């Protein structure tokens, strides 16, 4: 009787579907909803520095990229555009509000575990207020979850460190964003 029971269990175990590692190869595109925190404008004049923190704001945007997978390792590149609306800061007693256009070019490297991709990013950022551009670098971490049927959801924390070079004195802009993302793979 135990032989027959073991045989049935073995037959069931070999016929049950296994959970396959997601395929992260190829192109993808999607939407971003972000919360901008730790937004700070700073400058240095004559050895003394000053900084102004902006209120938290939200951003929405689009992104697209391509991944190459080698076993559990995933490498790729991504281009993202988002807009932060009504970034407000109080400067010299006056409230200043501006919309920021944000362009991020990022390299990605990560490790896939089942249907989750954990990754780090680093790259170039350009932030524009419509009149002047701030350029610099970005870095961050994230995780994507493969829902199946080419759908992916994820979360990412991205820190940007940029400078308005045309200002005299130079003005630095630090903008950190936590975003949720949804994408389709092609």
DSSP 54: B
Give the span between the Cα atoms of 183 and 48, in whole angstroms.
45
pTM: 0.80
Domain membership flag for residue 10: no
Average pLDDT (16-39) is 82
Q: Is the pLDDT of residue 123 over 90?
A: yes
Q: 3-state DSSP call for residue 4?
A: helix
Identify the pLDDT of residue 119: 98
Which residue segment(s) compose the domain that 68 sits in?
19-185
Residue 122 lies in a domain: yes
pLDDT category at 15 given cuts 50, 70, 90 is low
Q: Say how far apart CA 30 and CA 82 lie, in whole Å.
A: 12
Average pLDDT value for the chain: 85
Say if 26 falls within a structural domain.
yes
Q: How many domains is the chain partitioned into structurally? A: 1
Tell me: pLDDT of 17 over 50.
no
- 46 located within any domain: yes
- Integer CA distances (angstroms), 1 to 7, 9, 106, in order: 10, 13, 61
Asked if residues 121 and 78 have their Cβ atoms less than 8 Å apart, the reply is yes
Establish if 1 belongs to a structural domain. no
At 85 the pLDDT is 82
In a domain, 83, yes or no: yes
**Domain contains 12:** no
Short-list 108, 170, 182, CA closest to 138: 108
Phi, psi dihedral angles at 7 (to 5 degrees): -65, -40
Residues 99-110 pLDDT 10s = 889 999 999 999
CATH assignment at residue 161: 2.40.160.20
Does 152 fall in a domain?
A: yes
User: DSSP state, 129?
Assistant: -
């Amino acid at each position: 009787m135990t032989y027959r029971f073991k045989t049935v269990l073995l037959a069931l175990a070999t016929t049950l579907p296994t959970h396959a590692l997601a395929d992260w190869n190829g192109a993808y595109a999607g939407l971003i909803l972000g919360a901008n925190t730790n937004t700070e404008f700073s400058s240095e004049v004559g050895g003394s520095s000053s900084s102004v923190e902006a209120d938290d704001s939200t951003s929405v945007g689009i992104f697209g990229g391509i991944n190459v997978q080698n076993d559990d390792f995933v490498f790729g590149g991504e281009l993202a555009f988002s807009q932060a609306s009504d970034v407000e800061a109080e400067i010299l007693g006056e409230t200043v509000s501006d919309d920021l256009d944000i362009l991020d070019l990022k390299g990605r490297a990560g490790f896939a575990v089942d249907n989750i991709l954990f990754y780090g990013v680093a790259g170039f950022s350009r932030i524009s207020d419509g009149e002047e551009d701030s350029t610099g670098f970005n870095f961050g971490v994230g995780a994507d979850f493969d829902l199946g049927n080419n759908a992916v959801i994820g979360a990412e924390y991205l820190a940007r460190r940029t400078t308005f070079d045309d200002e005299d004195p130079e003005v630095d802009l630090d903008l950190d964003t936590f975003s949720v993302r949804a994408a389709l793979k092609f």
